[in-house]
Amino acid sequence: MSLILLKKTLQSYASRERKKTNEWFFKTGKGQYGYGDKFIGVSDPDSRKVARQFHNLPLHDVKKLLQSKIHEERTTALKILVHEFESGDKRKQKRIYDFYLENFKYVNNWDLVDGSAYKIAGTYLLEYPKKANILSKYARSKNLWERRLSIVATLAFIRSNQFGWTMKNAKTLLSDSHDLTRKAVGWMLREVWKRDHQLVEDFLIKNYKQVSRTTLRYAIERMEEKKRKRFLKGFN
């Protein structure tokens, strides 16, 4: 009953206008990365409200929700997992971390990855660094979303001033041709730069020929204009 009620509650926030906007924003057209994804038109804040309301949903029902073809239902499932992970003890956190990776194939759009990867996988691996080699595995995956997880999850490390995994996976992913990976790498390099300017600037200079323009623009976004222009011009 709780799962049925959750879906009805989520539907009550749905908007036709937002549905159309989301379908365009998340590239659901034929040949685009989000092709086949279904939206009902629920905003992220409203999804969060529903997740808080139903945070005690049993894990087997969360799994059903995560397997849904409806994007906002998957979003809500992940928000529930994040809430339970953050409020749980170590035993519960391990259970949710394992569940998250076992069902990661349903975390299949960039917003789903970004809202959960560092909050669950990154935070868990920060606590248990001996298990963090899994990030290298994901960085070399053929699956776009696993590659994005491999770099976005490192945000948890960055916020603890540990930059090793970010820099290692950024290097691995420099050859990635997908725009969503390039943006994620640039984003994480920018987050590191906020804490260690020299580390990122040296990395960009050393690997300049391999860094895509997308990654570069994201990484240097917060630099002073004069320095940013030097990077864009390639120091000529």
List the Cα angle 40/106/187 in 5-degree steps.
90
- The per-residue pLDDT for 88 is 96
Listed in sequence order, the residues at least 6 apart from 133 whose beta carbon sits closer than 8 Å to its beta carbon are: none
> In 3D, which of 121, 161, 124 has the Cα closest to residue 145?
121
* CATH number, domain 137-236: 1.25.10.90
- For each of the chain's 236 residues, which pLDDT tens digit applies? 699 999 999 999 999 999 999 999 998 988 888 888 999 999 999 999 999 999 999 999 999 999 999 999 999 999 999 999 999 999 999 999 999 999 999 999 999 999 999 999 999 999 999 999 999 999 999 999 999 999 999 999 999 999 999 999 999 999 999 999 999 999 999 999 999 999 999 999 999 999 999 999 999 999 999 999 999 998 65
Question: Domain 1-115 maps to which CATH number in 3.20.20.370, 1.25.10.90, 3.40.50.11540, 3.40.50.12780?
Answer: 1.25.10.90
pLDDT at 139: 98
pTM higher than 0.85: yes
For residue 220, what are its two tokens? 């240097």
According to DSSP, residue 121 is labeled I
CATH 1.25.10.90 location in the chain: 1-115, 137-236
pLDDT at 236: 57
